[in-house]
């Protein structure tokens, strides 16, 4: 396979998932839930592992700075290592939610596979606490995380980079819908 063919096939994967209008109602619903959350004084709480944690950090900052939506993420090394040490890695995110979340908040929980125990447990805890829960995954449509979200955004791919990049684009498109425009300068 030559480079052009590789890139044509690679970017076709993105076209298939990014330009599918079937996702639009879910993105609009997430925007609406974020706006309702902001009106009631809540905050967005993002969490993920690895690349999904990086997405969580990026989106948290953009929703806060650009979108005017109070947002946090759980990516502080001391928080992760303390809670993982004390409660076990599979429970650290749910414990962080216990300390930082309120019922008026929205939890955005990201796992490419949808099988990360710490993220699935966090989704269950967030629902128990009365939060609106947005989950994002890929790989298999029916995965443990997909069953826990009030709103689930699923990428039909088995490629981590395609899944993670799509998650970030979807989340930032919601941020831009909150802002009300796609093009804006630094303010």
Domains and CATH numbers, the chain: 3-179 (3.40.50.10490)
Is it the case that residue 99 has pLDDT exceeding 90?
yes
pLDDT (0 to 100) of residue 147: 96
pLDDT (0 to 100) of residue 184: 76
Q: How far apart are CA 44 and CA 105, in angstroms?
A: 6
pLDDT (0 to 100) of residue 19: 85
- The whole-model pTM stands at 0.95
Counting residues of the chain whose pLDDT is more than 90, the rounded percentage is 93
For residue range 28-82, list pLDDT tens digits in order. Answer: 999 999 999 999 999 999 999 999 999 999 999 999 999 999 999 999 999 999 9
Mean pLDDT over each residue of the chain, to the nearest integer: 96
For residue range 113-164, list pLDDT tens digits in order. Answer: 999 999 999 999 999 999 999 999 999 999 999 999 999 999 999 999 999 9
User: Which single residue is written with the structure tokens 């806060």?
Assistant: 64
Angle between helices 160-179 and 3-18 (to 10 degrees): 50
pLDDT (0 to 100) of residue 187: 60
């Amino acid at each position: 396979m030559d480079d052009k063919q590789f890139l044509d096939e690679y970017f076709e994967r993105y076209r298939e998932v990014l330009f599918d209008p079937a996702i639009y109602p879910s993105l609009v619903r997430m925007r609406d839930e974020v706006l309702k959350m902001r009106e009631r004084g809540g905050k967005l709480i993002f969490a993920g592992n690895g690349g999904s944690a990086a997405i969580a950090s990026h989106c948290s900052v953009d929703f806060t700075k650009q979108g005017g939506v109070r947002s946090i993420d759980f990516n502080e090394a001391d928080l992760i290592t303390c809670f993982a040490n004390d409660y076990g890695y599979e429970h650290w995110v749910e414990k962080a939610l216990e300390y930082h979340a309120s019922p008026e908040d929205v939890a955005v929980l990201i796992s490419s596979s949808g099988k990360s125990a710490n993220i699935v447990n966090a989704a269950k805890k967030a629902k128990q606490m009365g939060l609106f829960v947005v989950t994002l995954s890929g790989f298999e449509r029916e995965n443990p995380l997909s069953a826990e979200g009030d709103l689930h955004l699923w990428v039909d791919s088995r490629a981590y980079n395609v899944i993670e990049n799509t998650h970030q684009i979807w989340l930032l498109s919601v941020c831009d819908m909150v802002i009300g425009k796609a093009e804006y300068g630094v303010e």
